[in-house]
Structure 1
Amino acid sequence: MTRWVRFEDDGEERFGSLSGAEIVVHAGSMFEAPQPTDLRRRLDAVRLLPPCQPSKIIALWNNFRQLAAKLSVPEPEEPLYLLKAASCVAASGAVISRPPSYSERVAYEGELGIVIGRACSNASEEEAAAAIFGYTCVNDLTASDIIQRDKTFAQWARAKSFDGFGPFGPVIATDLDVRGLTVRTEVNGVERQNYPLDDMIFPPARLVSALSRDMTLLPGDLICCGTSLGVGTLKDEASTVSVTIEGIGTLSNTFVQ
């Protein structure tokens, strides 16, 4: 397994793979035959960036059986999803401020993220599996009260696209088998979510295949796999939300009211 990061180094954006407490700097493209260099950087001496730059962010709704059962909604026959603005991304460690135009509830949603590694269109499940570059942690922040504010139009994209509402990272883990893994979310050190990825209605290869029939997926695109039980509202003046998945690590961000 390789864990990839993007980072800022003396004002320059670089990428590389983690080796203990060091980053092995690579040249070329993360998604196409990256080449290791002789450069090494200490992880604690650089500023991490979001691990890739997605052209689009696809976020799933109702993709876990336990949550569907709790909400008394049927399991969907095809993926239900929305698009988040690419400008909402934030790196692990970033402080996220409440949007000045919104004063109501903000919810956290700890999720698995799929990162696409090659262009993918009308793909079979086998082709879709090959197009998955790796996995990351996501906190799909949501301005909950905006969604149904206008009774004639559900505002999902707006509710999820404020600046900073798409933190993901800290790494992209390749060659990771997510079967048997769990997503664990803590808010100010208290566990709020702990759910199995095996409960997904549309697991990664099937999900990527289905989405690729709707739109071409490009290298770096991010698919947020949806969340399960334990979603809640951030109530404190400053709330630190940590999303942990074994093999990937912990995404941690502080939301300031």
Structure 2
Amino acid sequence: MSSASIRPAADHGGDPTARWVRFARNGAEGFGTIAGDAIAVHAGCMFAGAAPTGETVALASVELLAPATPSKIIALWNNFHALAGKLAVPVPSEPLYLMKAPSSIAAPGATIPRPSSYSGRVVYEGELGIIIGKTCHEVSPDEAGDFIFGYTCVNDITALDLIAADPTFSQWVRAKSFDGFGPFGPVVATGIEPGGLTVRTVFNGQERQNYSVTDMIFQPHDLVSRISHDMTLVPGDLICCGTSLGVGTIKEPTNTIEVTIDGIGTLTNGFVQ
């Protein structure tokens, strides 16, 4: 992954954001924060007590990894007013979500192959992702911000035709859990407020999605609170906030999908048929 894929964070006021990455270099993994075209290497735990070592490494000299290793990936469905209106489905009274297998994770810059066991439609879905920073159980919306480490870009890739292939059982998890169908990154941005963010998805050079997080039915703090009453969230867990208008089918033999959120960066991945 080249350093050009990590664009400067937009100024949202207050202190500048920190943008955390994980990387591989010379057979070893490390983590740190973006500092221009370099990474300020840290030691310890990214989520608790991380400290700079004083070493910096050039972004161009490392392979970026997914910026966290979630124990679980939670993905929202029908979480935007605009998309609910287009699909003519009611606004839900509580979050509707599924789980994606952690083995679906792909690194920023990775090229994702079509699954050999599936020949139907595959779609991209650009989304905002929440990364949990502290063990979180039954917290209130007002408390939830203390448990959010930061935010990231997600491409929630889906094998669309599988979902309703069997009329007796909706296969959401299978449709979204193929190897490589869960790229996120390239960074986790801390110190930003999600309310003013816009998600843009560019597919093969053409903008296909451009929507505001403010249209979300369940906003990030509310999502974390509600989900924490269903299950305990632990550091590194990823909540994919759902997508809005503009989801499209991946048709060409080779494809490039870019999900950009100002203040976070651009997640770029390839997909080959």
TM-score per shorter chain, which class?
A: over 0.9
Distance in 2 separating the partners of 1:181 and 1:31 = 23
Match of 1:185 among 198, 201, 207: 201
State the Cα distance separating 1:107 from its structure 2 match: 0.4
Secondary structure at the aligned position of 1:130 is classed as helix
Aligned Cα root-mean-square deviation (Å): 0.5
- For residues 134-181 of structure 1, the C-alpha deviation after alignment (integer angstroms, 9 at most, x for no partner) is 000000000000111111000000000000000000000001112122
Please state how far the C-alpha of 1:38 moved relative to its aligned partner: 1.7
Distance in 1 separating the partners of 2:93 and 2:224:
15
Of 222, 229, 232, 1:206 maps to 222
- Aligned: 1:80 with 2:96: yes
- 2:262 paired residue among 233, 246, 252: 246
Whole-Å separation in 1 of the counterparts to 2:78 and 2:165? 21
Q: Distance in 1 between matches of 2:73 and 2:196?
A: 25
Which residue of 2 is the match for residue 144 of structure 1?
160
Deviation larger for 126-135 or 49-58: 126-135
| Residue 226 (structure 1) aligns with | 242
Matched residue of 2:164: which SS?
coil
- Alignment counterpart, residue 124 of structure 2, candidates 108, 123, 127: 108
Partner Cα separation in structure 1 for residue 51 and residue 71 of structure 2: 23
Aligned twin of 1:172: 188
> Distance between the aligned counterparts of 2:38 and 2:20, measured in 1?
12
The Cα shift of 1:31 comes to 0.2
Which residue in the other structure is 1:42 paired with? 58
Please, what TM-score do these two structures have when normalized by structure 1?
0.99
1:60 counterpart letter in structure 2: L
Give the whole-Å Cα distance in 2 for the aligned partners of 1:238 and 1:186. 14
Q: Aligned partner of 2:155: which letter? A: N
Looking at structure 2, the residues matched to 254 and 24 of structure 1 have their Cα atoms a distance apart, in angstroms, of: 28
C-alpha distance in 2 between matches for 1:212 and 1:178: 19
Q: Tell me the alpha carbon deviations over residues 79-122 of structure 1, each in whole angstroms, 9 at most, x when there is no partner.
A: 00000000000111001000000011000000000000000000
Q: Partners in 1 of 2:192 and 2:91 — Cα distance?
A: 27
Paired with 1:59 and 1:144, the residues of 2 have a C-alpha distance of: 15
What one-letter code is carried by the residue in structure 1 that aligns with 2:112? I
Structure 1: gaps (5+ residues): none
AA paired with 2:123?
A
Any runs of at least 4 consecutive aligned residues in structure 1 with deviations exceeding 3 A, and if so which? none
In the alignment, the residues of structure 2 paired with residue 176 and residue 9 of structure 1 have an alpha-carbon distance, to the nearest angstrom, of 29
Sequence identity, in percent? 64
Amino acid at match of 1:224: C
Give ranges in structure 2 of 5+ residues lacking alignment: 1-16
